[in-house]
Structure 1
């Protein structure tokens, strides 16, 4: 066991001094009698656990001045207590406090051993390399943490197979609001034990079970335990090997999750088909703000169901449908209905094999998204040559901060159009712009773009990298880029992978680095 911290040593020393003081001084007999009467009537006031004070960062204050004042006050007492009274006082105050102090130091030593510190009502032991013995030690401390609100033991493999020892103590931390068990190698028995324990933590608002493959096929063991009036606001089930059967059951579980704000089912590749004709209950999630279904192998039937639900989710802020290839030919109606989401701030539809018709529907709907801050359409080849369909959105948007068009087969005309929009004063709030992996843009297109990019005064990141299989020499447009950089006060990163610089341009780049007080990271292909 590690040596107690200086603070713990100071607390222990203060307690020893208090014990000596209590033994040397007298107590008012009336106060002693009052204490005895309160005890006999069963009205003894419960004492706040030192561990709770410790976790809340409370400090035990004991000064020499206070000790002297207490001593002087006690010396003026009119009567002296009996030996029995004095022993009772010593047992009632000194011994339990010393025990609690030692317990507090034990908590601190346990956390120090794992490289963590206690913060308020949060116990964060994620990615600590917990052993089975550590889990047992943590469980032994739970009875002394009744005010705990957050418990995070994610990314600890040895939790798997031992979770029942934790869940059996859940009734002792009934105020728990956040339980994070991501990547813990949970077993089927762990999932079952967790489901049985949910009723003991009625205030739970966040449950994270991501990256636990055994959740797949067993999700009902948890979701069927949610009761009416559940306070769950965040449910994360990323890459849990969920099956289509799990997806079908999710619909039934939603009727008890009216407070749900975040639903993340992403990276469950076997979930496809589970939402067909079974998303009706999602419409009851009127407060849902984040819906993440990326890489879920959504089928055409899933898309149809989602199309019916989307217009009813008026509070939605973030929607991620990326990496669902079936959307390319079946999502025209779905994307057109995005116009009913006026609060939408983030829309990610990367790598969905969009076709011209579906992209047109998206472009027309995006005009009605005034709050949009993030728009990502990367890896959709149909954007190339058709960026003009987004022209009105790009002109009208006053909130857009992130625009990602990587690997969209953009052509010179697309970049020229983007430059024109920038030149007319639009996209003024843009902070991140990704045009990488668009190798068909000629030097003239890059020149037009670089001559106007300086107008994006809030830009922090720009990526114009080439594909991994492509290397090209930088043209004269690079000097326009260098000139623009000097007029971009917030820029920090410029991605230029596989663009080759001649020696003369590399020297100019070095001089730029030396002249500017803040550094800019140019990630380029090096000297020609």
Structure 2
């Protein structure tokens, strides 16, 4: 008869088996976290996992994401979850899960009562089967985060989610993004949102929302006064519906992030948003990109940013900014002491007028990211940028995008590279041209080479579209070796 090991010896053996598998997968052992994200798990690995999970009773987090072999093989793993009753986080992103896997997962939830975060995103084959899972979640379950991004959810899945909401009143984050059919059941979902008053994050990006669904969502806002992040971006059919569907949006006084990019906002919508957005006193992040009415609206929302002093991120890419709206933005920038990210890309009016925004930047602000791609910048814009860099207001800048600005001469680039050395924290610089441009590098290339050793934080330099001679390519390729650096050059 096999003699039982003493407790200490058995514990050592268990620890060794766990350590052996994790080292094989190039992961560090951790009693509370089993992170096997993107480990290319195979059948043998899964067999070993089945053996070691019972040896890890203190596990609080499991991440099997981006392992396609998990799909169709989840049952034996879920059977081991009875040994991990302290589990709080389960991530199964992009695992190729099937309807059968969802069935087994639903049964496993009964033995992991303290689960707080469940992420099933990027599993396209579970659409139409979500109710199998949601029906297994009992009333009062302590789930706080549910993510099902891009899972091909159907209208019936949306209805099953709605029925779940009044049973898990602890929910704080709900992510249904990139499920285009969810919009058909949004009325059912929004009617049940009143049962999750603690909801802080609601992501409905690209969910096929229409005006009537957005109106129902607005009605739910009166119950979600603690909401901090709202994303309804890429729902083009809500255009024109703000006038009748945004009455309660202004009630969200705790809202910190609002994403409305690519919603085809119309001029009549802008009139409403101009009244509502300045009332969102806690707003820190605002994305209005790819809404051309933002720049041409007679009701100037941008001038009222002055009432949002907590703004840290303002994204206005491709908003058809006009001279008047750009000037209004520049004036408002004086009142934004916490601004960290500013994106003005694809607004041609910036060209020749960059000084308006640069001179208006609040001296207390510590801008970290400035995007000016395809802004028709000219030499005087880069000269002004170089001067402002030397004066100090951009000393904290980490990312600078000047790509697709083909009106700048060799002298303009040379002036810029002479002044850029003051950006000690710059990590990413993009000066690419359009792929069709194929311009030779001028005398500015020598100025760039002289500046590179002084940009100690630089890790990435994009030069796509520029034609480098063989000598110039070798100079960049030898830079890292000569200066003991690790800059990624993309040319």
Category of TM-score, reference length = shorter chain: 0.7 to 0.9
Aligned pairs for 1:62-73 within 5 A: none
Query: Which runs of 5 or more structure 1 residues have no equivalent in the other structure?
Result: 1-10, 19-50, 59-105
Distance 1:426 1:323 in 2: 31
Distance 2:374 2:117 in 1: 39
Aligned twin of 2:288: none
Aligned twin of 1:407: 374
Change (3 A) 1:191 1:348: farther
> Are the aligned partners of 1:351 and 1:377 in contact in 2 as well (CA < 8 Å)?
yes
Distance 2:321 2:156 in 1: 31
Match of 2:5 among 10, 13, 19: 13
Q: Does 1:57 align with 2:11?
A: no
Aligned pairs for 1:438-449 within 5 A: 438-449=405-416
Using the TM superposition, give the Cα deviation of residue 232 of structure 1 relative to its aligned residue in structure 2, in angstroms.
1.9
Distance 1:276 1:397 in 2: 40
Query: Which runs of 5 or more structure 2 residues have no equivalent in the other structure?
Result: 11-17, 19-28, 33-44, 266-290
Using the TM superposition, give the Cα deviation of residue 399 of structure 1 relative to its aligned residue in structure 2, in angstroms.
2.5
Using the TM superposition, give the Cα deviation of residue 491 of structure 1 relative to its aligned residue in structure 2, in angstroms.
1.0
> Are the aligned partners of 2:317 and 2:345 in contact in 1 as well (CA < 8 Å)?
yes
> Are the aligned partners of 1:310 and 1:337 in contact in 2 as well (CA < 8 Å)?
no
Aligned twin of 1:255: 194
- CA displacement, residues 421-441 of structure 1 (integer Å, 9 cap, x when unaligned): 212211111101111112222
Using the TM superposition, give the Cα deviation of residue 211 of structure 1 relative to its aligned residue in structure 2, in angstroms.
0.7
- SS in structure 2 opposite 1:275? helix
Taking structure 1 as the reference length, the TM-score comes to 0.70
Aligned twin of 1:477: 444
Aligned twin of 1:328: 292
Change (3 A) 1:302 1:130: farther
Aligned pairs for 1:419-498 within 5 A: 419-498=386-465
Aligned pairs for 1:296-335 within 5 A: 296-297=235-236, 299-304=238-243, 312-326=251-265, 327-329=291-293, 335=302
> Are the aligned partners of 1:325 and 1:353 in contact in 2 as well (CA < 8 Å)?
no
Aligned twin of 1:41: none
Aligned pairs for 1:256-295 within 5 A: 256-268=195-207, 270-273=208-211, 274-276=213-215, 278-282=217-221, 284-295=223-234
Aligned pairs for 1:141-180 within 5 A: 141-180=80-119
> Are the aligned partners of 1:175 and 1:201 in contact in 2 as well (CA < 8 Å)?
no
Aligned twin of 1:136: 75
Aligned twin of 1:85: none
> Are the aligned partners of 1:408 and 1:438 in contact in 2 as well (CA < 8 Å)?
yes
Q: How many residues align?
A: 430
> Are the aligned partners of 2:127 and 2:152 in contact in 1 as well (CA < 8 Å)?
no
Using the TM superposition, give the Cα deviation of residue 209 of structure 1 relative to its aligned residue in structure 2, in angstroms.
0.3
- CA displacement, residues 260-301 of structure 1 (integer Å, 9 cap, x when unaligned): 332222233x32533247424335544433333332326433
Aligned pairs for 1:184-203 within 5 A: 184-187=123-126, 189-200=128-139, 202-203=141-142
> Are the aligned partners of 2:335 and 2:362 in contact in 1 as well (CA < 8 Å)?
no
- SS in structure 2 opposite 1:179? strand
Aligned pairs for 1:373-384 within 5 A: 373-384=340-351
Taking structure 2 as the reference length, the TM-score comes to 0.75
> Are the aligned partners of 1:438 and 1:466 in contact in 2 as well (CA < 8 Å)?
yes
Using the TM superposition, give the Cα deviation of residue 469 of structure 1 relative to its aligned residue in structure 2, in angstroms.
1.2
Change (3 A) 1:138 1:328: same
Using the TM superposition, give the Cα deviation of residue 390 of structure 1 relative to its aligned residue in structure 2, in angstroms.
2.2
Distance 1:224 1:448 in 2: 62
